[in-house]
Each structure stands twice: as structure tokens, then as C-alpha cells.
Structure 1
């Protein structure tokens, strides 16, 4: 098979020929039709993501959609020819999806939604699983609640907005002035964070009470702002970027709660991988019901242009999820 290999940090990806992987008893061999590029991939390339546990040489690529080519002896959920998708590797020593073939733990994947193409399906797993773990597993989002999503036009936020709406919440999302129309098309109320203070939008949209759930997809000062935007006593802030130093005093003074999300953990530890598979199955159901649609970059890239795809993400030029199509 061909694969794009990171041979050293801060170096171009090398297109090489490697032996085809052989699936283990609990794995399936997938021909990769589409591989999603995430900001984490860029951090890994630069040696800035120790938590991802990647050392060159490595094949990156966390999100995947493709077709099952072979099935391990202990796998009974999938058959050759099945179209599948999931968040399957690229961290913790697991082969990523920037290759023509990959052997993946069958627990991590689900049937691809019929309503979506391979390219569309590969744009979903990491962002949706992160959103689900925050909104559903941690905060138990439900009908009638108010939800604020920071970064509503981003790779995670765009899916988080749709998930919260699908579960009956009233959703508001922050973004730049240029992203207001994109956010509005999801059904959320857009908030231009460059033109409104936290007090402004909390007052306007919640009467000063605060939001039931605040989803932080930005980190840093935005997480600090989340602590003052959440409802007193019952409010819940969730973040996948709760790094650095933060004062919990504003949150404590509101009597609210905080939960961190670390989406990579099942890939790194092997624990709860079946939950990842169950969550992407939920994503497929929502997509097939017309309630979940990814936002894609205007161009897809062949495997030999994986460096170009990474550059688009790194330079902030992406207009949606960037996808590489390894299959020839």
C-alpha cells in the first residue's frame, strides 16, 4: 500500500510503499476512501502534542471512512464490502488513515451513514465524538435548555451545534463576524464575539441568568469567559481544551460545574473503545435523519498532496473540514 509517513517532526510527509497491514482477530482491514485532517495532526507534526503519544516514523490521520476488505476471525459485526467510518488511529502508536489500507479495532467503527458520501463521513468522527462526550456524556443536554457553543463554525463546534439542536436545546454560538452566516445556517443564533462582551450576550439571550451549558472549543481566555457565562447552580461548562492555568473562582462563585473531555483516551488506553463505535453510530443515525451535515473545505486532496492539505489547515485557510482521499 501507499502511505504518507511522518519521518521526523517538522518535516514533509513522505509518500512510501509499505506492506499491506494484516488485521488481527478483533480488527477489520479497511480500504481508506477518505481521511480527515484535524488541527491535532498539525500539532503532532511539529512535536507539540505529547498527549497524543506519537513518535516518528508514523502515519497520521485520526478520522477515516472506507470499505471493509477483510475481517478478523473474532469480528461478526462487519463483512467484506461494508462501508464504515470512525475515529480509528493516528495517535498512541496506532496507524492513521493517511494510507490506502488500515487495520482498525472493530469496536471503533460503525456503518457509514447512507445519506453521506465517504468524504462527508470522514469529516465527522473526532468532532462529533468530542461534542457527544461533552454535551451528552458529561452535561446530559436535553430539550428546553440553553446551550452556548464557542467556535460554532469550527470543526468541533459546527457539529456540536447540530447535536444540541437535534436534542431539543436552544443553541447560541460565538464566532467571528465572517462566520455569522455559517453559524446561522445551522439553526443556532450567531454571536459576534468581537462586537459583544460576555455580559452583553448573557444579558441579551438569558436575561442575565447564564446558559445551561457552555461548550468551549477554543480554550485560553474563552474558557475563562465560559465560567462567567454559565447559569448559577445548575450550569455546566465542558471543554476539550482545558489546558494551561485557569482560575476556577468565577465558576465557583456561580456554584456551577466543569467537565473536561479527552477524546483520544480510548485510542491511547484501549478502554471504552466500544463507546466510540456507539457514538459514531449515533452520528450516522442523525445524518441519515437529515440532522447532521458536515462543513467541508472546497477542495479534497489526493494522498500525494497530503502536505498541501495539512498546510491549508495550518495556515487557517480551510473553509471547512479538509479531506484527503488516499484511494486511487
Structure 2
């Protein structure tokens, strides 16, 4: 779907809330100071992309019309002044656009802040790499930056087969933790395949699995990826005195008494903040460098939906996502 005109490109435009995407010819960006111009090969499709498209993602600060898409993998075309970490031809990936007024990744090209990027894993495909950044950064910030996960700990991940959850399980395992993960019965085989002890959240109570796996003491780290009642359950699953609960969806109103009575602590993760506020972006690039190391060491494999989509069929991907029918991360093959 390459355009012949080197000054323009094709992109998906979300024109207004709930309207389908339309392929539009727009001006091709150039790399300004501190930026990298990337030819996008693949773009991840996230739940937040769909919320913005349907007018429900106000916290992302991305008014419509806009080019959406947050995650990508691609090839560096040019670098702006002051950029020394990358050169033309490098294969890179990152969480780099689609919110905070930034151009998204549902386009043939984009100029990204170089601080947000890293060289992609050589062991993963473009599709696999494009599926990871948002979810990996969210998992890493919770487990490593907030909770200081380390060897010998017992870690509970709620939603162990989910986008953030399956990467959180693998990160915790890579750090030497003993990992447990909740899910449905249909997800048991996958959760066990990535090294976690499976907990059927429908068939057992919090008290039962805390008693069974921790002798009633609680888990050292509990990562809630679901919010709501699951976050409340996390408060009573944390270890007495030293337990730490992390949530990437702690946006509701919750009673902290159960957590306080255990002497445990809590942290919230808001992955979008550096992109929206323009502060701390370098750390996102550093986190993606860690993802590359783990993947190339054979310790990290993302779960990607096998179905293929292009810019022309991206609306189908969003329909699947909205209906909860994705099996892993959906990815758009931007370069056909």
C-alpha cells in the first residue's frame, strides 16, 4: 500500500466518535530535533485505541479527528538532529503515539520521540514486537519499578493470560519469582505453559488460594490487571506487613481498610503519563531495551492473535476487539 508521492503517506483517520476508520492521504512527517522518522511495518491494536475511537478514552487526551495507534515496530528512515542511538535501517519498536496529541501508528510513517524507542528483539518478528510495548511497559513499571520484584518472592498476577498479565508472569519468572496467575479454566494450559501456577478464579475464593499457596500469609506482590472487585480481592491477598499491591486499573473508589489492616502497600500504574505530560519518556525507551534483552534471552514471548489485518481491514480488527473475541494481541500489518 505504498504511495508513490514521497511527500505524502496513507493513514487511518478516526474522524469522529464511533465512526469507522477511513484511509486518508496525509502529509508525511519529517524527523525534527530529537526525533526518529520510522517506516511502520506493524502496529498493535489496543483496547485504549478502541476507547478513543468510540469517544470513551478522554484520559488519553487524543481529540478526534486523529490518527490512532500506540504500539509499533518498524524501520528507521532518518534521524533528527541530536539523535545518536539510532541510524537509518535500524529495526525499532516502542509505545510512541496515538495519545496526548501525538500522531499514532496506524500510518505508513511517523516521527517519534527517540527517547521512547528501542532496537527491536532480533528473535521476534515485527508483528510480535509491535504487540508488546504498551503491555510490557505497564507490567514492568508495576513489578520492577514499583514493587521491586526479586528472587524468592511469591507473585500473584490477576488475569495471567491477558495483555498485561501474560507479560507480567514472564517478567516475574525472569526475576526468579514463584508466580501464580488467575484465569478461566480455558486459560489454564496457556498460563501453565508460561510458568505460572494456575488459579481458577471462578472455582476458588481468595481465602482458599491464599491459604493453599501461602499458608495464609499472603503474596509478596499482587498485580491487578482487571480493576474493580479484583483490586478489592488483591487487598486481602497481599502478604502481612511486606506485601505490595499494584494495579494498572485502579481508577474506581475502593476501601483501603483491608490493605491497611494487613500493613501492606499499594501503587498505581498510569503508563500513558510520560507521553501525555512529556516527562520521563527516556525511561520508556529504557524499559523497552529490557524487553529486548529478555526476548533475545528466550525469557519473553508475546501472545499474538494469528489473524492478519491491513490498514484497509483495520475496522475488522476493532470489531473483534470490541466484541472480546481476540486471542492475544491484534496486530495490523501496515506494510503489505
TM-score by length of 1: 0.99
CA separation in 1, counterparts of 2:128 and 2:70?
15
Partner of 1:229, secondary structure, is coil
Tell me the CA shift for residue 76 of structure 1.
1.0
Which of 40, 43, 46 is residue 32 of structure 1 equivalent to? 40
Asked if residue 237 in structure 1 is aligned to residue 245 in structure 2, the reply is yes
Asked if residue 57 in structure 1 is aligned to residue 65 in structure 2, the reply is yes
Tell me the CA shift for residue 244 of structure 1.
1.4
Tell me the CA shift for residue 220 of structure 1.
0.3
Tell me the CA shift for residue 325 of structure 1.
1.0
CA separation in 1, counterparts of 2:241 and 2:330?
40
Equivalent residue number for residue 5 of structure 2: none
Which of 145, 160, 185 is residue 177 of structure 1 equivalent to? 185
CA separation in 2, counterparts of 1:212 and 1:83?
37
Equivalent pairs, count = 328
Tell me the CA shift for residue 227 of structure 1.
0.2
Equivalent residue number for residue 142 of structure 1: 150
1:156-183 superposed Cα distances (whole Å, 9 cap, x missing partner): 0000000000000000000011111111
Partner of 1:32, secondary structure, is strand
Equivalent residue number for residue 153 of structure 1: 161
Runs of 4 or more, structure 1, over 2 Å off, are: none
Tell me the CA shift for residue 282 of structure 1.
0.1
Tell me the CA shift for residue 197 of structure 1.
0.5
Which blocks of at least 5 consecutive residues in structure 1 are unaligned? none
Tell me the CA shift for residue 23 of structure 1.
1.2
Equivalent residue number for residue 127 of structure 1: 135
CA separation in 2, counterparts of 1:313 and 1:325?
16
Which of 194, 202, 211 is residue 186 of structure 1 equivalent to? 194
CA separation in 1, counterparts of 2:87 and 2:71?
20
CA separation in 2, counterparts of 1:190 and 1:238?
19
RMSD: 0.6
Equivalent residue number for residue 282 of structure 1: 290
1:17-61 superposed Cα distances (whole Å, 9 cap, x missing partner): 111111111101001011001111111111111110011111111
Partner of 1:299, secondary structure, is coil
Partner of 1:133, secondary structure, is helix
Which of 220, 236, 252 is residue 260 of structure 2 equivalent to? 252
Partner of 1:80, secondary structure, is coil
Asked if residue 225 in structure 1 is aligned to residue 233 in structure 2, the reply is yes
CA separation in 1, counterparts of 2:202 and 2:334?
39
Equivalent residue number for residue 102 of structure 1: 110
Asked if residue 10 in structure 1 is aligned to residue 44 in structure 2, the reply is no
Which blocks of at least 5 consecutive residues in structure 2 are unaligned? 1-8
Partner of 2:23, secondary structure, is strand
CA separation in 2, counterparts of 1:39 and 1:203?
34
Asked if residue 215 in structure 1 is aligned to residue 223 in structure 2, the reply is yes
Superposed, 1:295-314 pairs within 5 Å as 295-314=303-322
Partner of 2:92, secondary structure, is strand
Tell me the CA shift for residue 88 of structure 1.
0.3
Equivalent residue number for residue 302 of structure 2: 294
Tell me the CA shift for residue 240 of structure 1.
0.8
Tell me the CA shift for residue 15 of structure 1.
0.7
CA separation in 2, counterparts of 1:303 and 1:14?
9
